[in-house]
């Protein structure tokens, strides 16, 4: 059975990538998870400089999900390259570096720095973080903003460029098209949904930041719909995510049009989820006599629904 998939020029051994912000810098898990057995590791979002992030509480559990407003706490790109990348390289991880800036120039500088670093396989352009005031989602919520930042980064690096789209827009497919026109190699979606939770006893927001981003199984059907819409709109490979917790969820995203997927919140619940997901995918492939997993991408069969619609 062949579980490998291609994201542009990058071939990964299977479609399971650890989602940014939910797997540290990868090295924290290296003694318990074989990083080379994953499709890849998307590391925590990096700015040029280190950042503190928001004051806690910055995580809240919600029905079938979680709300976070970490505020992109991070060690900055230089410390990442010096302190984390050597071990990721040693462990043979496929590394997607999630980058964030407040200006296009910052994104470009990050891309240039990472291009020269040995062991980085792709750049995931975080233009969708809902938890910071400047940059990020400001680009991802504007079509010209998306186009301009993607094309500037595309020109600055030899690495595959993968903009990560926000679901906090009316028509996500138009952002996928803007990314494609700007020269993206793939797109990833979705980042978290803007949301909030209130403690009714104190009438205070549960997060210090007041609003945060919702992730986990609660968002999955919306994320699947968005992947499906983007599949209709662009030819680019799509990395789908949002609430994936079982092998069936992975397969659902692939049938909707994803080439690969990322798993975030569910890995907090079960850090060893990867083996279970891979076992479940293999069992499905055996049951459906599928030799090559990538054949499943975009195979949604809508004919039955159309027949039912016509006959009613």
Residues 231, 236, 241, 246, CA torsion sign = positive
Q: Return the range that interacts with ligand FMN (CB under 6 A); candidates 2-10, 64-72, 78-86, 170-178.
A: 64-72
Nearer to ligand FMN, 176 or 244 (CB): 244
Distance CA 99, CA 108 (A): 10
122 binds ligand FMN (CB under 6 A): no
168 binds ligand FMN (CB under 6 A): no
Q: Using alpha carbons only, what angle is made at residue 267 by residues 45 and 53, rounded to the nearest 5 degrees?
A: 30
215 binds ligand FMN (CB under 6 A): yes
Q: Return the range that interacts with ligand FMN (CB under 6 A); candidates 67-75, 197-205, 281-289, 296-304.
A: 67-75
Which of 15, 26, 40, 45 is in the footprint of ligand FMN by CB under 6 A? 45
Which of 14, 98, 151, 259 is in the footprint of ligand FMN by CB under 6 A? 98
Nearer to ligand FMN, 197 or 290 (CB): 197
Distance CA 135, CA 149 (A): 11
- Three-class secondary structure of residue 50 per DSSP: coil
Q: Which DSSP string do the residues of 197-252 spell out, in sequence order?
A: -EETTTTEESSTTS-EEEESGGGHHHHHHHHHHHHHH--S-EEEESS--SHHHHHH
Smallest distance from the beta carbon of 209 to ligand FMN, in angstroms? 12
129 is catalytic: yes
Burial of 21 (0-12, 13-18, 19+ CB in 10 A): buried
Instruction: List contacts with ligand FMN (CB under 6 A).
Output: 19-22, 44-45, 66, 68, 70, 72, 98, 126, 129, 164, 191-192, 215-216, 219, 241-244, 263-266
Active site (catalytic) residues: 129
């Amino acid at each position: 059975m062949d579980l490998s998939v291609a994201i542009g020029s990058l071939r990964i051994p299977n479609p399971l990538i650890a989602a940014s912000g939910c797997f540290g810098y990868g090295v924290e898990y290296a003694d318990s998870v074989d990083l080379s057995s994953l499709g890849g590791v998307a590391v925590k979002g990096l700015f040029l400089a280190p950042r503190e992030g928001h004051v806690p509480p910055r995580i809240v559990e919600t029905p079938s999900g979680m709300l976070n407003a970490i505020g992109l706490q991070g060690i900055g790109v230089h410390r990442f390259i010096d302190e984390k990348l050597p071990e990721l390289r040693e462990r043979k991880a496929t590394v997607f570096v999630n980058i964030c800036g407040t200006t296009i120039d910052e994104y470009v500088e990050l891309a240039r720095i990472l291009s020269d670093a040995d062991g980085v396989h792709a750049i995931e352009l975080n233009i969708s973080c809902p938890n910071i005031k400047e940059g990020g989602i400001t680009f991802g919520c504007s079509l010209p903003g998306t186009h301009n930042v993607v094309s500037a980064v595309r020109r600055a690096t030899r690495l595959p460029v993968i903009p990560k789209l926000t679901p906090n827009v009316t028509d996500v497919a138009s952002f996928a098209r803007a990314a494609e026109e700007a020269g993206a190699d793939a797109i990833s979606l979705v980042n978290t949904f803007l949301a909030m939770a209130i403690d009714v006893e104190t009438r205070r927001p549960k997060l210090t930041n007041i609003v945060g981003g919702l992730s986990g199984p609660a968002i999955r059907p919306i994320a699947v719909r968005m992947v499906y819409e983007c599949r209709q709109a662009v030819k680019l490979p799509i990395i789908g995510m949002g609430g994936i917790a079982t092998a069936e969820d992975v397969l659902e995203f692939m049938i909707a049009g994803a080439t690969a997927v990322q798993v975030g919140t569910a890995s907090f619940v079960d850090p060893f989820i990867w083996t279970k997901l891979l076992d479940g995918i293999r069992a499905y492939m055996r049951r459906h006599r599928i030799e090559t997993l990538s054949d499943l991408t975009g195979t949604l069969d809508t004919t039955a629904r159309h027949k039912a619609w016509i006959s009613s």
